Structure 1
Amino acid sequence: MNQPMGLRERKKYATHRTLAATAVRLAAAHGLDQVTVEDIATEAGVSPRTFFNYFASKEDAVLIAYPDHEERTRQAIDRFLAAPATTPALEALIQAIRPDIENIEADREEWLARMSVIEANPALVSRVIASQAGTQQTMVAAIAERTGLDPEKDLYPGLLFGVVGHAMQAAVRRWHAFGGEEPLTELIDQAWAALAAGLPDPGTRH
């Protein structure tokens, strides 16, 4: 069970979220290159020194939406491993990740703006990929643990993670491309339902 945050932790969480949301909003409005750490700090009502207590750079402020991102990964793994043994690994992984999708949906405007900033700045894409390497390794290891396989020798753990991850990316890209018109959770459900069905041919459209 998660312990409730104390007052200090809540304040630190709120400051991180304010700085991250402010960085995204300013970068989306003016372009990342035109925004400085000082701009973000001033808009958020803190000093640049305080900013650097939370982020190493303005790029990190754009990309690291939540201060507890590592804890969120751990919680997703815990949910995955705790799913009943009768639940297929694909379904268990989907259900484990779903709360994170719901969090993105809850902060809809911020995430739509964040994705626009990332698309406009290719250098951020490589940072995203690099930052996800550790998460990928951890999740693949969890899949291997649940399925009794070797994460290095067996194909399935990495394949399952890759397939689910790319399905999620496809749904998120569509969500962003259409300005969040359709709920992200519904798009994710459609993508995962197609995976669960074995990606059948959708047939000819008339």
Structure 2
Amino acid sequence: MHSVTKSAESSRERRMRHTRLSLTENARRLTAKHGMNGFTVEELCEIVGISRRTFFNYFHTKEDAIIGRPSDAISAELAEWFVARGTGDAELGPALLNDLVEVAWRSFDEMLQITGSLTDMHALLEKEPEFMTRLIRENKAQHEMVRALIAQREGLEPEDPRVQLALMSLMPIAHAAISHYFATVGSGAEPVSMRGVMEETLAQARRLFRDPDAPAGDASSND
């Protein structure tokens, strides 16, 4: 099976990825506030701390910066950690969902550490609805990347329905946590712990789907 992970990123690769993430988040924030034509590449570069010339080493256009690079969503180190946690025995391991949730909150926290904030994509699309199609494509590319990581970790093919089920199980948990985050940010309250919200949502989902007719000893929560 084709490997989708790589060895740990070099310091240069890590810096470049962080710069791309910063460019994308700040481009999205400016777009949500002013619209795509309401700021210049130079203004974006000033915020990030790079030159206009350097910008074009990362993205061809301002629109590309807003969309970002789907492969940057999960760092190489985190992807490597996730795959190494599996057994590769063509079965879904009991820790899979826990580890997917950990990848999600750690990626979220990393973005906050790099950029200090996240843009509500609804606000961006209200300003620039034509970005919807490209953002859907970006989402699809990210899902395909995660599906490939799950498949490699579990020794399955990416098209295996169990891989898709694992990915689909993560999505509502991530959605609930992100919605909670933006609700607290909008209210001016202290930002929530993404880890805490996602882990509690996962625990609630497990309680919800536990078979009430099963003997107590057979109801595994995997907590």
Q: Is the 8 A contact 2:32 2:119 kept in 1?
A: no
Partner residue of 1:78?
80
Cα distance change, pair 172–18 in 1 and its aligned pair in 2 (3 A): closer
Match of 1:140 among 147, 161, 171: 147
Q: Unaligned 5+ residue runs, structure 1? A: 201-206
Structure 1 residue 174 corresponds to structure 2 residue 180: yes
- Matched-pair identity in %: 25
Partner residue of 2:199?
189
Q: Is the 8 A contact 2:150 2:163 kept in 1?
A: yes
What displacement does 1:114 show? Answer: 6.2
What displacement does 1:102 show? Answer: 2.0
Cα distance change, pair 97–82 in 1 and its aligned pair in 2 (3 A): farther
Partner residue of 1:94?
101
Cα distance change, pair 190–127 in 1 and its aligned pair in 2 (3 A): farther
Q: Is the 8 A contact 2:97 2:166 kept in 1?
A: yes
Q: Unaligned 5+ residue runs, structure 2? A: 1-6, 88-92, 211-223
In the comparison of the two structures, how many residue pairs are matched? Answer: 195
- Which letter does structure 2 place at the counterpart of 1:96? V
Distance 2:43 2:82 in 1: 41
Match of 2:166 among 160, 163, 169: 160
Q: Is the 8 A contact 2:32 2:127 kept in 1?
A: no
Partner residue of 1:203?
none
TM-score (norm: length of structure 2): 0.66
Q: Is the 8 A contact 1:23 1:40 kept in 2?
A: yes
- Which letter does structure 2 place at the counterpart of 1:190? E
Deviation track 1:127-184 (CA, whole Å, cap 9, x = no partner) reads 22212333322322332344444432x3211121022023202321231133174222
Higher relative contact order (CA 8 A, sep 6+): 2
Distance 2:19 2:164 in 1: 36
What displacement does 1:119 show? Answer: 5.3
CA RMSD in angstroms, aligned pairs only = 3.6
Cα distance change, pair 129–199 in 1 and its aligned pair in 2 (3 A): farther
What SS does structure 2 have at the residue aligned with 1:197?
helix
